[in-house]
Amino acid sequence: MSAKIWLKEYPEGVPAEIDPDRYDSLPDLIGKTCRKFADKPAYSNFGCSMSYAELDRLSRDFAAFLQGLPGLKKGERVAIMSPNLMQYPVALVGILRAGMTVVNVNPLYTPRELEHQLKDSGAKAIVIVENFANTLQQVIQKTQVEHVITTQLGDLLPVPKRWIVNFVVKRLKKMVPDWRIDGAIELRAALSRGAGAKLEPVSLAREDIAFLQYTGGTTGLSKGAMLTHRNILANIEQAGVWIGGSLKEGEEIVISPLPMYHIFCLTTTLYFMTLGVVNVLITNPRDLPAFVKELNNWKWSVLTGVNTLFNGLLNTPGFSGLDFSALKVVVGGGAAVLKPVAEKWQQITGRYLTEAYGLTETSPAASINRLGTPWNGTIGLPISSTEFSIRDDNFKELPVWTGEGDIEKSTGEICIRGPQVMKGYWQLPAETAKVLQDGWLKTGDVGNINAKGYVTITDRKKDMILVSGFNVYPNEIEGVVATHPGVLECAAVGVPDDKSGEAVKVVIVKKDPGLSQESVLEHCKRELTGYKIPKYVEFRDSLPKTPIGKILRRELRGK
């Protein structure tokens, strides 16, 4: 779109363009940040904190350790498989400082899912919390992983809390399944070894890959979006000019319940570091009563989350009685923020819930609503240095929706261009070519832009299902369900769900007349992460199909 009509709607002080080249690399930015706020707490977890100086020292030690491992050179992929713990930022920053690429892994992955991601990325090393080491043990021989660094939940807490947490988790709650991986080294030993080693300087270019961030694919297997240092630096800068004016350096307390392996939390965490905030990492946000209890310990000013999380908090006893006087910014992303949730949030907290939009492929932020404004049903305005364009199936640009005439003539695929758009998909040039054209990213989302520049999503071009902000692809679900011996054929679709936005429904034609819903779900639980498991199982005599035999998923959604 040649005329950036949205610029007139920008809040005062937000520039049309940002400079994505202010810093040479993420380690350059993080290093300057850690020195600037050295004495301030950077992260808090389990009631303990880590200063920016400690983060700087520990990440340096970890980087030096990684550089000393055989076969690990600049650009090598190193995976992290962990929930939100203080080990996460230490490992993440350490990998980047070593000149290597971070591969974020969902710790709840099944062996099948983990094997694919490790093999596809070619990761040679992995940092993994012991609770999930049994999963790795099952597949490590099929991957290129040569170095395993393990950690227990409490490993970066001070004594005696470290001992207590680790004892309770392992011995009392028995949350660590038995595992054995020969040659694995404990993180604390790795840090100790790195402390005595020299960190070799690494020359990083802005176009070097910082993260291989995996997202679902139409092939049913997740793809690694190549996010460069420049992509992430640009998105940090874009977030800063939009919401930074509401925040004060060194004074804010940020609550991070979303997992750091998810792109939304990953980038916002890096951005908030530049403000010298205290970032409170929530290890298990599904335990809402414990989450509310933790919130009560802080005069928190920033919260990021997804619609389901906000809805869960609103319905948890004790939340409405919290002190919201310091709250400044609440941003919802990853999935649509629903009107009843936004309105109830404002009613209880006295603050507006701001909806933003993005994708893994855009690092992730692409548009956001103005802070301090009510819910409006849109995903907001394109952020600085970002263009949105609505295109038809022939990639022809469609006109702005003026509010008159047929809205369908202004509705098409949302395409995005900006410095935060990924380099492409890892080792998948054909898949990359499908979504990147003339610098534009084809999002697969369908919508329109109104005369003021606000963007509305109306549908999804692809069949992706969005469960609590996580992408679920029908092909993957169908691939798993189809392996059940009692299934003749199947199709997976997304259906509206009050709790998660969408839920997975699988429609099955039986091969075995005795096939039960319970049998299907048990099969899925062995192969799929929790949010991918179908919530609904329906049996039919046949599935609707095209003349050439392609299953018509759209006909299944409406029934």
Look at 110-114, 135-139, 462-466, 500-504 and tell me which has the smallest mean pLDDT.
462-466
What is the β-pairing status of strands 436-437 and 465-467? Answer: unpaired
Asked if 19 contacts 464 with a C-beta cutoff of 8 angstroms, the reply is no
SS3 labels along 11-73: CCCCCCCCCCCCCCCHHHHHHHHHHHCCCCEEEEECCEEEEHHHHHHHHHHHHHHHHCCCCCC
Region 126-154: mean pLDDT is 98
Q: Which residue has the higher pLDDT, 374 or 478?
A: 374
- Statement: 41-204 belongs to CATH 3.40.1410.10: no
Task: Write phi, then psi, for 317 (nearest 5 degrees).
Answer: -55, 135
Omega into 160 within 30° of 0, i.e. cis?
Answer: yes
Give the C-alpha separation, 493 to 430, whole Å. Answer: 26
Higher pLDDT, 40 or 555: 40
d(CA 284, CA 257): 8
Give the residue, 524 or 555, on which the prediction is more confident.
524
pLDDT at 216: 60
- Torsion angle, alpha carbons of 457, 461, 464, 466, to 10: 10
* Residue 106 CB neighbours (<10 A): 22
Residue 149: CA count within 13 A, CB half-sphere: 30
Q: At residue 356, does pLDDT exceed 50?
A: yes
CA distance 428 to 209: 15
pLDDT at 546: 58
Query: What is the pLDDT, as a whole number, of residue 268?
Result: 96
φ/ψ (deg, to 5) at 175: -95, 5
Average pLDDT of the chain is 94
Torsion, Cα of 541, 544, 550, 552 (10° steps) = -130
- Among 137-141, 221-225, 381-385, 553-557, the minimum mean pLDDT is found in 553-557
Using CA atoms, how far apart are residues 422 and 228, in angstroms rounded to an integer?
A: 7
DSSP 401: B
Contact of 253 with 299, CB cutoff 8 Å: yes
pLDDT at residue 547 tops 80: no
Every domain of the chain and the residues it spans: 41-204, 465-557
Euclidean distance between CA atoms 499 and 104, whole angstroms: 26
Residues recorded for the chain: 559
User: Which ranges of 359-490 does DSSP label H, i.e. alpha helix?
Assistant: 429-435, 474-481
Measure the CA–CA gap between 460 and 96, rounded to whole angstroms.
35
C-beta neighbour count of 270 within 10 angstroms: 24
Instruction: Give the E-state strand segments of 125-230 in sequence order.
Output: 125-129, 147-151, 185-186, 209-215, 223-228
* pLDDT of 46 over the 70 cut: yes
Quickly count: other Cβ atoms within 10 Å of residue 219's Cβ.
Answer: 13
Lowest mean pLDDT among 51-60, 378-387, 404-413: 404-413
State the pLDDT confidence band at 548, using cuts at 50, 70 and 90: very low
Report the percent of the chain where pLDDT is more than 90: 84
Q: How does DSSP classify residue 450?
A: B
Phi and psi for 210 in degrees, rounded to 5? -90, -40
Q: Please check whether residue 151 is in contact with residue 187, taking contact to mean a CB–CB distance below 8 angstroms.
A: yes
Span 435-457, average pLDDT: 95
Q: What does the pLDDT read at residue 549?
A: 54
Strands (E) across 418-523 are located at 424-425, 436-437, 440-449, 455-460, 465-467, 470-472, 487-497, 501-510
pLDDT at residue 61 is higher than 60: yes
Listed range (36-45, 124-133, 164-173, 538-547) with the worst mean pLDDT:
538-547
Span 276-293, pLDDT tens digits: 999 999 999 989 999 999
Phi, psi of 509 (to 5 degrees): -100, 125
Residue with tokens 């892994």: 105
Q: Which residues of 281-308 are buried (b: 16+ CB within 10 A; e: fewer)?
A: bbbebeebeebbebbeebebbbbbbbbb
Q: Above 70 in pLDDT, residue 37? A: yes
Sign (positive/negative) of CA torsion 337, 338, 339, 340?
A: negative
Q: What is residue 452's three-state secondary structure?
A: coil
Asked whether residue 379 carries a pLDDT value surpassing 50, the answer given is yes
> Coil, strand, or helix at residue 415?
strand
What's the pLDDT score for residue 218?
38
Dihedral, CA of residue 437, residue 441, residue 443 and residue 447, to nearest 10: -90
**Would you say residue 373 has pLDDT above 60?**
yes
Find the range with the poorest average confidence among 171-175, 336-340, 454-458.
336-340
Could you say which architecture CATH assigns to the domain 465-557? Answer: 2-Layer Sandwich (3.30)
- Per-residue pLDDT of 216-271, as tens digits, reads 643 457 899 999 999 999 999 999 999 988 999 999 999 999 999 999 999 999 99
